[in-house]
Chain A
Amino acid sequence: MATTTQRLAVTALAFFLATVYISPDISAQKVIRQYRPVKGEPHLDFSFPDIRDGKLKKLSDFRGKKVLLLHFASW
């Protein structure tokens, strides 16, 4: 059976984890003015609507698959 000290430690850990992983840390994302992918580096992840169904899809949704990312225009 857990002692009071052990229960307090578990509660403190749970609070710590909640603070780290649930609170809205929004410092990481930046507005990108110019992006150039670099060989050997992770490609910037992004999320945009699919033109066919409007649903948001991320580049990281395709992890596990090889991706040929083609930026093009129909004009």
Chain B
Amino acid sequence: MIQEQHAERCRLYAQWKEFEWPILQDRMTSIGLTEVPVAVLIDEHGIVQSTRPNRKQIVELVATNSPAPSSPAPPLADKWNDPELILAGQGTDDWQVEHLILAGDAFLKRNEVFSAIDCYKKFLDAEKSTSNEKLTELIPEVQFRLGVASRVRYDSNQSKQSGDFGIAADWWTRAREGNPNQYIWRRRIEQYGPRQIKPYPFYDWIENAVADISARGETPIELTVRLSGAELALPMKQDLPATSAKNPDPSAKTELLDNGQVSFSKSLVPSRVKTGETVRVHLQFDPSKDIKWNNESTPMQVWINGSDQGTCSTQLMQVNNAKTAVSKESRVVEFDFQTKENSSDVELTGYALVNICEDESGQCLFRRFEFKIAIPQE
């Protein structure tokens, strides 16, 4: 069982390690796991024989037949995988408001994210209109699920919505505030930033895995979700060394891009930061419908102006060109911003130098796209 957000990474891991057993994904932490790793030995009747078993216990259990229980526990009814059936119970005597959460989970397991988000939000609305403490206790659980669903939507090419990554980070931040002891929730946020003083090597193994699998003559499973800088213990290759962090266009001589040819969104992890603390800023640039990136010129550069409210981990970032002559992928850069003690709300300014081509005329342009980044302080 894994609780990771991105199943494809574990698929690659399983391919690398040649695991052949089933691996199930509970990205919502819906069975209430708060830490990993945890091992449980279960006999052929579904009875727990040991928690944290050692090798001897495992060998013994495999070698012996366990006595059957007098009344076997019934398996999970299939109706709990049917969100429509769960929701059909509304208005009946058996209905409980928390069934909205279970319906949301059932939708999310099918990747029906819009319906899942709808169910979770209905629970939060219903909770507001009651004074039921048991429902209030479930709020962090729902906030975490909303983060999961929003991030799934962000990663989905079919239903990507602008700002979903930032929304996910905000829900996760709130969930963690409601239950700071949930280790898996803490790690979920940490993997997206900011980079720790001693970064955790979440996915540093990926490079070795791809090399080893290829050396075996196999094709490594393709990863579609980009790794963020905080998921690697080593700095991201996009960060240029501080010694070369010179403002590439200090006098703003490059012509401005201001006709909506490029859209911009920012996500902050965590979504709210106290003064003196660090936030990871993810900036995403997308070409509009009729525009493409021109990959036959200089790479895109992103510059962040200095601020007296804090310090950037890097001011100059670069996005390498795709291999094709033109492309339309989202381009993401990241950096950490450490706020000063007693700082007020921060507004960073910066710009990106982009090479784009217009579809109709085929005209290619080199332009400066300016942006602002608001970082609210708590």
Contact = CB atoms under 8 A, between A and B. Distances in A.
A59 B40 CA distance: 12
Contacts of A48: 1, 24-26, 109
Interface in B21-45: 22-26, 30-34, 36-45
A45 B76 contact: yes
Interface stretch (B2-10, B212-220, B268-276, B320-328): B2-10
A66 B46 contact: no
Contacts of B89: 24, 26
Contact of A60 (B10, B13, B46, B48): B46
A33 B48 CA distance: 20
B11 interface: yes
Contact of B187 (A25, A69, A75): A75
Nearest to A44: B31
Contact of A26 (B2, B10, B23, B86): B86
Nearest to B37: A72
Given A33-B138, A35-B32, A42-B73, A50 B22 contact: yes
Contacts of B1: 48, 69-72
A70 B89 CA distance: 34
Q: Which secondary structure characterizes the binding site on chain A?
A: loop
B111 to A, nearest CB: 8
Given A40-B47, A66-B44, A46 B31 contact: yes
Interface size class, chain A: 35 or more
Nearest to B145: A31
B53 A68 contact: yes
Contacts, number: 184
Interface in B312-355: none
Contacts of B26: 46, 48
A32 B58 CA distance: 28
B44 A70 contact: no
Given A26-B95, A48-B25, A73 B42 contact: no
Contact of A63 (B38, B45, B141): B45
B278 interface: no
Interface string A43-71: 11111111110001111100111111111
A4 interface: no
B267 interface: no
Contact of B2 (A39, A47, A51): A51
Contacts of B266: none
Nearest to A48: B24
Q: Which of A38, A51, A67, A68 has the most CB of B within 10 A?
A: A51
Interface string B138-174: 1001000000000000000000000000000000000
Given A35-B33, A42-B69, A73 B3 contact: yes
Interface of A: 24-52, 56-60, 63-75
Interface of B: 1-4, 7-14, 22-26, 30-34, 36-51, 53, 58, 61-62, 69, 72-73, 75-77, 79-81, 85-86, 88-89, 92, 94-96, 98-99, 101-102, 109, 137-138, 141, 187, 191, 200-203, 205, 231
Given A25-B94, A39-B51, A71-B33, 18 more contacts: A26-B79, A26-B85, A28-B77, A31-B30, A33-B137, A41-B48, A45-B75, A52-B11, A52-B22, A52-B23, A59-B76, A66-B43, A66-B61, A66-B62, A68-B58, A69-B41, A75-B187, A75-B200
Nearest first, the 4 closest Cβ-Cβ pairs linking A and B are A42-B73, A60-B75, A74-B13, A35-B32
30 contacts: A24-B89, A24-B92, A26-B86, A27-B94, A30-B98, A31-B102, A32-B32, A39-B49, A41-B47, A43-B48, A48-B109, A50-B22, A50-B24, A51-B7, A51-B23, A52-B14, A57-B22, A67-B42, A68-B40, A68-B42, A69-B1, A71-B2, A71-B36, A71-B39, A73-B36, A74-B4, A74-B10, A74-B13, A75-B202, A75-B203
